[in-house]
Amino acid sequence: MDWENLRHLYAFAEHGSLAAAARALGVEHATVARRIAALETQLQTRLVDRRGRRLLLTGDGERIAAIARRMRDDADAVERAAAGARSELTGTVTISAPPALAAAQLIGPLVALQQKHRRLELRLIGESRSAALDRREADIAVRLSRPRSGELIIVRLGAMPFRLYASPGYLRDRDERDWSFVGYDAPMAQSPQQRRLRAIAAGRAIAFTASSAELQQAAARAGAGVAMLPGFMADDDPALVRVDKDAPPFQREIWLAIHADMKTAAGVRAVVDALKAAFATGAD
């Protein structure tokens, strides 16, 4: 049995199309189709049916894909167990975190750690989505929402205060009742800070939306409106002023998570300890 053929079938089942599976695997969609066809030949079983321009799994295809998923999960568990058994500060540790937070508060302690332990390789991924720790998409996840599922060890690192900021010119030229706001676009429309911004706007327009805090900061600098931004980004920005100086900040907690299988991995422990120490000394 060729595991690569099974892996391509699983990717097709997971992502729903040849094109999406190909993107996930980093191959051409024709390769995915060829691998699935080879698996059908090996098993002498039809695994997919063509419906118009779409390919759909047959009942047998769904059952085989489920077995492939379990095999993938077992392989991931073996990798986690092996990584967790390492006692030396070597190898690669991957950290997933929101981009703005990663740039402002994780880079410093991570660089200091790597310079102290030269054989340790650190890979920092800035992303808003939650990396799957059970699949080793990352070894450590730093998030603004407490993870609720999985065999995870979870640590609270601190809190991120959000406040309102705008350019001095924007505030000078209009009354508060005429303010418009800068916020997130659709994928982040239900984030806690966006819900809070809508409550503050109280019917006033959120006239400019963007996909990241960095873009919102740039828009506020340019006079697009009032933005709700993390203090670590905007407090020292000379092009912005705080609007709500007397109001308590809106805060989101910062959480760190690792898979339970990785708790004894020396590199992972070192990164966790470095981040905990950094937040304890002033990142909260």
Q: In this structure, which topology does domain 3-84 adopt according to CATH?
A: Arc Repressor Mutant, subunit A (1.10.10)
List, as one string, the DSSP characters of 149-217: SSSEEEEEEEEEEEEEEE-HHHHHTS-GGG--EEEE-GGGTTSHHHHHHHHHHTTS-EEEEESSHHHHH
Handedness of CA 164, 142, 112, 126 (dihedral sign): negative
CB 96 within 8 A of CB 136: no
CB 261 within 8 A of CB 79: no
| CATH architecture for the domain at 89-284 | 3-Layer(aba) Sandwich (3.40)
Contacts 24+ apart (CB under 8 A), 133-137: 133/257, 133/258, 133/259, 133/262, 134/73, 134/76, 134/80, 134/259, 135/72, 135/76, 136/76, 136/79, 136/80, 136/83, 136/94, 137/94, 137/96
Comparing C-alpha atoms, which of 227, 269, 244, 284 is closest to residue 93? 269
How distant, in Å, are the alpha carbons of 23, 47, 55, 62, 86 from that of 50? 20, 10, 4, 15, 47
* pLDDT computed for residue 155 by the predictor: 94
**Considering the entire predicted model, what is its pTM?**
0.67
The stretches in the chain having pLDDT less than 50 are 283-284
pLDDT in the model for residue 121: 95
pLDDT for res 283: 45
Range(s) of the chain covered by CATH 1.10.10.10: 3-84
Distance CA 88, CA 159 (A): 32
Assess contact for 28 and 20: CB atoms under 8 A.
no
* Strand ranges (E), the chain: 48-51, 54-57, 91-97, 120-126, 140-143, 152-166, 181-184, 206-210, 226-230, 241-242, 250-259
pLDDT of residue 106: 96
Domain with CATH 3.40.190.290 in the chain: 89-284
- 139 close to 95: Cβ distance less than 8 angstroms: yes
DSSP assigned state of 70: H
pLDDT of 88: 60
